[in-house]
Amino acid sequence: MNYHINHLKELESESIFVMREVASQFQNPVILFSGGKDSILMTYLAVKAFYPAKVPFTLLHVDTGHNFPETLTFRDKLVEKYGLNLTVGYVQDAIDKGLVTEEKGTNASRNGLQIFTLLDEIEKGKFDAALGGGRRDEEKARAKERFFSHRDEFGQWDPKNQRPELWNLFNGRKNLGEHFRVFPISNWTELDVWQYLAQEQVPLPSLYFSHRRKVIERDGVLLADNEHILKKPGEDVFEEVVRCRTIGDMTCTGVWRSSAASVQEIIAEVATTRLTERGGRADDKRSETAMEDRKKEGYF
Amino acid sequence: MTTSESLTTELLRFTTAGSVDDGKSTLIGRLLYDSKSIFQDQYEDIERISVRRGEEGVNLALLTDGLKAEREQGITIDVAYRYFSTPKRKFIIADTPGHIQYTRNMVTGASTANVALLLIDARLGVVEQTRRHAIIASLLQIPHVVVCINKMDLVDFSEDVFNEIHEQFEAFAAKLDIKDFHFIPISALKGDNVVTRSKETPWYEGPTLIYYLENVHIASDHNFIDCRFPVQHVIRPYNDDFHDYRGYAGRVAGGILKVGDDVMVLPSGFTSKIAAIDTFEGKLVEAFPPMSVTILLEDDIDVSRGDMIVRVNNQPDVTQDLDVMLCWFDNFKPLMPQGKYAIRHTTQEARCIVKEVRYKLDINSLHRQLEDTTLQMNDMGRVLLRTTKPMFTDSYKQNRITGSIILIDEGTNRTVAAGMII
């Protein structure tokens, strides 16, 4: 008998360990659910971690009002299937109350506004740990994240003052009003996620698979045409066979020319691609440190 | 990579430590680049920044320096994690800065590593920093150490230079506790012996770095002898289908647990048998490190988080006195003699008091300093702790999971120290 497990099993075991640690060290944890594959994976791993008991975490969705309709349908089905609790925070509410100001112009996005609603929901729900699907391979600021990442009373991240994390000892101690962001799938790469989702035959939103869609091209990135995007002169709508590599707000999630219609084809595509998945994210392209800056303020 | 290949891919974690000039970033860049793990947009990104900053050529170090302060100052201040894979293995690199003030980062990166990569500049040979890295690798019990003698192109790929450094290192390392080490002459910049075998070193018959990393035997890096199952979470579904279900969830820290095994629960000392090993996919007949499972016992006994399930005839030390090699992390306050801290060990949390600092360890020479026993940030020392309740421990050498602790300042909640039980 050969006592070793493959890398997907080891990653799964690590993520399950982190989730059980969250359930034990915190009173009221929440899963930040975006509808993307990483948050679907996280939810699936949470189901495994506490089987046959129910997932002891609430699902929190920050709704920008600019969602792909497929995302919401999928979310509601998932919640029903696993008997989960769902809380939705609406960015529109914060705009209506004048708490945040909507960006104007062609590149306007509600991405940054999510921070307010997210922190507001965390405070209202008295959530003391928020599990995020961030992965270290995604982005250079995320490469330095901890599994347990401390946030002060303003929800801010202080990257230069992080707690060292050794072996599998996690320090979730905090003062009242502070919270933690926890990243159980830190060590997964995009390819790992797809291989695992394929192996486990986890259902996914149709957006990830190749389909024909109306798009516009902006700064070399294809964006799905929708009512929330203000088009610049010369930006013509045309049809392309595309799929999403990440799913976020419709105004800033790029789509990708692809004919990959099954998980296996996506794996083949991801294994040979030369562009990172966030390469299509307009929100990361705003500056060299766009992600770090948003994370410090309390972004996902 | 197809799914069928991925089913046999192992995970290997390694740590690299080095300073700005020893070519560490270049080596990581080389591994990522040659294994096709640098994406085009990432490359264009750092190319653009390099040009803007007026640098010659593309600065691969920008791939690993992620934070604004690091880019501004051209230094790495924190552990960065990098990923790449080959058809045989998936690799996680804990990339840590090598400067003396970052010992804590090196210790952090080393804590979970299977392999440590030490870089030596062929022109300089073994320097103070090399010794410090090797000592940390030894203290943290990294099972395998690879010494990459880099910049061989700058010494004309001389076998004599390689042998001389090899001997220098061996002479020094004889004092250390490293089970397995290996020497490779490389040029990270030119790629010699990193992924492809060099034509310049016909005298070298060993493997390339990537071949070594793909093939080094890591299956025995876990302890498969001494059964240790720290209970992490109790699973009680409270529903009709699983009415009396009471499962103990956790990650196997040591040994091979089998259904039917006679076990004892610490600290109560109650004995029972393993009735089932449960997972979402179904029941298993056995579980071993590093699997996360749920254990069900035949008898209804009181078990909670922090307890440990072990074999009746193979028990850890049950003790309130810990003798540890401590690495101090905090930059605000030094270790306080007689100070009280929160302590974490496996899934247990307690409080402890510092009874004695026996000596401070000079991590450049291994000398024991008996006079000066103040532990400041990045210092290491042998410390005796007394805990408020019994801990179930093994020596760190025997088991990295049941032999490690962290200390937390109860006022600031910061993780102030990490310790290895002696």
Inspect the interface and report whether the beta carbons of A23 and B290 lie closer than 8 Å. no
Interface test with B, best of A6, A168, A170, A246 (most B CBs within 10 A): A168
Inspect the interface and report whether the beta carbons of A168 and B305 lie closer than 8 Å. no
Inspect the interface and report whether the beta carbons of A53 and B236 lie closer than 8 Å. yes
Instruction: Taking residues A185-191, report their average pLDDT.
Output: 93
How do the domains of chain A map onto residue ranges? 7-192+289-297, 202-284
Inspect the interface and report whether the beta carbons of B81 and A7 lie closer than 8 Å. no
User: CA B73 to CA B109: how far, in whole Å?
Assistant: 22
Instruction: Taking residues A270-277, report their average pLDDT.
Output: 71
User: CA B257 to CA B306: how far, in whole Å?
Assistant: 18
Mean pLDDT, all residues of chain A: 86
Say if residue B200 is in the same domain as residue B168.
yes
B35, B195 Cβ separation under 8 angstroms: yes
Chain A residues lying within 8 Å of B104, measured CB to CB: 164
Inspect the interface and report whether the beta carbons of A47 and B79 lie closer than 8 Å. no
DSSP structural state of residue B226: S
Domain assignment of residue B91, yes or no: yes
> Which of the given ranges, A164-178, A214-228, B122-136, has the highest pLDDT on average?
A164-178
Say if residue B22 is in the same domain as residue B126.
yes
**DSSP states of A145-209 as a string?**
--SEEEE-TT----GGGPPP-BTTB------TT-EEEE-TTTT--HHHHHHHHHHHT----GGGS
CATH number of the domain within which B180 lies = 3.40.50.300
User: CA B117 to CA B113: how far, in whole Å?
Assistant: 10
Say if residue B281 is in the same domain as residue B193.
no
| ipTM value for the complex | 0.92
Domain assignment of residue B413, yes or no: yes
User: CA B5 to CA B20: how far, in whole Å?
Assistant: 37
Per 3-state DSSP, chain A is made up of helix, strand and coil in percentages (nearest 5) of: 35, 20, 45
Report strand pairing: B115-121 vs B144-150: parallel
Kindly report, residue by residue over B288-334, the tens digit of the pLDDT: 999 999 999 999 999 999 999 999 999 999 999 999 999 999 988 99
- The architecture (CATH level 2) of A7-192+289-297 comes to 3-Layer(aba) Sandwich (3.40)
Domain assignment of residue B220, yes or no: no
Inspect the interface and report whether the beta carbons of B67 and A168 lie closer than 8 Å. no
Inspect the interface and report whether the beta carbons of A140 and B8 lie closer than 8 Å. no
pLDDT at B63: 67
pLDDT at B339: 94
pLDDT at A18 over 60: yes
B93, B28 Cβ separation under 8 angstroms: yes
pLDDT at B65: 61
In B, minimum Cα distance to A5 occurs at B10
pLDDT at A96: 84
- The closest of A253, A243, A241 to A280, measured between CA atoms, is A253
User: CA B68 to CA B410: how far, in whole Å?
Assistant: 31
Within 13 Å, how many C-alpha atoms sit on residue B226's CB side?
Answer: 21
pLDDT at A3: 85
Say if residue B360 is in the same domain as residue B412.
yes
Our count of domains for chain B comes to 3
Say if residue B193 is in the same domain as residue B154.
yes
Structure tokens at A82: 């696993």
Interface test with B, best of A167, A269, A273 (most B CBs within 10 A): A167
Comparing CB atoms, the residue among A53, A275, A292 nearest residue B41 is A275
Which of B149, B181, B215 is the endpoint of a domain? B215
User: CA B15 to CA A200: how far, in whole Å?
Assistant: 31
**Which residue type, as a one-letter code, is found at position B244?**
D
- The closest of B420, B331, B421 to B111, measured between CA atoms, is B420
Inspect the interface and report whether the beta carbons of B89 and A7 lie closer than 8 Å. yes
Rounded to the nearest angstrom, the minimum Cα separation between A7 and chain B is: 5
Inspect the interface and report whether the beta carbons of A7 and B401 lie closer than 8 Å. no
Inspect the interface and report whether the beta carbons of B68 and A292 lie closer than 8 Å. yes
Say if residue B94 is in the same domain as residue B162.
yes
Which of B290, B311, B332 is the endpoint of a domain? B311
Phi then psi for B127, rounded to 5 degrees?
A: -115, 175
pLDDT at A54 over 80: yes
Confidence of residue A275 (pLDDT cuts 50, 70, 90): low
**Which residue type, as a one-letter code, is found at position B173?**
A
pLDDT at B3: 44
pLDDT at A279 over 90: no
Report strand pairing: A58-63 vs A29-32: parallel
B374, B359 Cβ separation under 8 angstroms: no
Inspect the interface and report whether the beta carbons of B233 and A174 lie closer than 8 Å. no
CATH number of the domain within which B393 lies = 2.40.30.10
Report strand pairing: A211-218 vs A221-224: antiparallel
In A, minimum Cα distance to B33 occurs at A274
Residue A13 CA: distances (Å) to CA of A134, A168, B305: 17, 12, 18
**DSSP states of B252-272 as a string?**
--BS-EETT-EEEEETT--EE
User: CA A38 to CA A53: how far, in whole Å?
Assistant: 22
pLDDT at B2: 42
Question: Could you tell me how many residues make up chain B?
Answer: 422
A74, A37 Cβ separation under 8 angstroms: no
pLDDT at A52 over 50: yes
B420, B140 Cβ separation under 8 angstroms: yes
In B, minimum Cα distance to A14 occurs at B292
Higher pLDDT, A141 or B104: B104
Beta strands in chain A (DSSP E): 29-32, 58-63, 85-90, 129-131, 148-151, 179-182, 211-218, 221-224, 238-244, 254-257
Q: How many CB pairs under 8 A join A and B?
A: 190
Higher pLDDT, A270 or A61: A61
DSSP structural state of residue A11: H
Interface test with A, best of B291, B329, B349, B412 (most A CBs within 10 A): B291
pLDDT at B276: 97
Say if residue B169 is in the same domain as residue B269.
no
In A, minimum Cα distance to B45 occurs at A288
Report strand pairing: B247-251 vs B292-297: antiparallel
Inspect the interface and report whether the beta carbons of A50 and B235 lie closer than 8 Å. yes
Chain B residues lying within 8 Å of A164, measured CB to CB: 104-105, 107-108, 329, 415, 418
User: CA A59 to CA B59: how far, in whole Å?
Assistant: 42
User: CA B388 to CA B386: how far, in whole Å?
Assistant: 7
DSSP structural state of residue B314: B
Range of the domain at B257: 228-311
pLDDT along chain B (422 residues), means of 10: 59 82 80 77 77 73 63 64 88 79 82 93 89 89 94 96 95 87 92 93 96 91 95 92 92 97 96 97 96 96 96 96 96 92 97 97 88 90 97 96 97 95 96
